[in-house]
């Protein structure tokens, strides 16, 4: 049995050269292997059409509640700006506009997060966990902020981000490949809508207006430069650009 597993892993090394340790760990799981067989050849061609070397892949995810979309931005490792690679439609939603503040509120979080878990045996096919609650959430939350927020397959959700099984296979592979290419932190920024001055000022009466104003510099910086904003969270839960 161990010898058979070793042969499988060695064959995967041949198919997917490079920094393979994380990729190998993931491809032990049947759903991940099947996703690679079905999706990776097409993804590789799509990346190369945008002049992105799969072995140098870096990704950034941007989510909008209004519009129900997950944008995947990509570039080659290094200083070049990100380019929009693809986008997926949210297959289900829960809650309303505004951040998540407590367990069981059904809200999708809003703010700056990172992928911190790869779940190849998810109840929802495959899933990518987010590091909610972050420092801003902890500064502003109610006593029990909740947790376990994922981007996952299927079309059902209570606070997570479902994009269907077919789409999570693609996104999961892109995240695995970025990690295998050396990207240790994959950012995921979740916005209620495009936080430009026009759309933001139109919602001045919302109870979340001040929170959105504190989050807006993150959106604006990326819109202008297509580079990750050098943001940090202060003690009041605001996002500040360094």
Residue 78 is part of a domain; what is its CATH number?
A: 2.40.440.10
Q: Say if 34 falls within a structural domain.
A: yes
Q: In terms of residue numbers, what domain contains 152?
A: 29-228
Determine the 3-state secondary structure of 78 from DSSP.
coil
Buried b (16+ CB within 10 A) or exposed e, 81-97: ebeebbbbebbebebeb
Q: Say if 4 falls within a structural domain.
A: no
Q: What is the pTM of this model?
A: 0.89
Q: Say if 16 falls within a structural domain.
A: no
pLDDT of residue 20: 65
CA distance 186 to 102: 25
pLDDT of residue 61: 98
Q: Consecutive sets of 10 residues in the chain, 242 residues long: mean pLDDT of each? A: 40 43 96 98 98 97 97 96 98 94 92 97 97 89 86 94 98 98 96 97 96 94 95 78 79
pLDDT of residue 17: 42
Those residues with Cβ within 8 angstroms of residue 100's Cβ, 6 or more apart along the chain or in another chain:
107, 108, 109, 110, 132, 133, 137, 145, 146, 149, 159
Residue written as token pair 């979740």: 190
Determine the 3-state secondary structure of 113 from DSSP.
strand
Q: Say if 234 falls within a structural domain.
A: no
For the chain, the domain total comes to: 1
């Amino acid at each position: 049995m161990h010898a058979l597993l070793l042969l499988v892993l060695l064959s995967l090394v041949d198919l997917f050269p490079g920094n393979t340790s994380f990729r190998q760990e993931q491809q032990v799981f049947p759903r991940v292997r099947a996703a690679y067989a079905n999706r990776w050849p097409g993804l590789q061609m799509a990346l190369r059409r945008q002049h992105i070397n799969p072995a140098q892949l870096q990704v950034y995810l941007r989510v909008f509640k209004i519009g129900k979309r997950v944008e995947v931005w990509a570039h080659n490792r290094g200083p070049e700006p990100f380019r929009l690679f693809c986008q997926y439609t949210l297959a289900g939603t829960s809650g309303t506009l505004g951040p998540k503040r407590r367990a069981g509120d059904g809200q999708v979080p809003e703010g700056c997060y990172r992928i911190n878990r790869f779940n190849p045996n998810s109840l929802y096919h495959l899933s990518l966990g987010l590091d909610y609650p972050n420092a801003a959430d902890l500064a502003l939350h109610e006593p029990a902020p909740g947790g376990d927020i994922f981007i996952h397959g299927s079309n059902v959700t209570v606070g997570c981000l479902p994009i269907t099984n077919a789409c999570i296979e693609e996104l999961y592979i892109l995240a695995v490949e970025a990690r295998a290419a050396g990207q240790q932190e994959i950012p995921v920024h979740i916005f209620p809508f495009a936080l430009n001055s026009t759309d933001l000022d139109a919602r001045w009466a919302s109870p979340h207006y001040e929170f959105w104003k504190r989050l807006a510099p993150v959106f604006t910086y990326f819109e202008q430069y297509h580079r990750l904003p050098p943001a940090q969270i202060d003690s009041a839960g605001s996002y500040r650009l360094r």
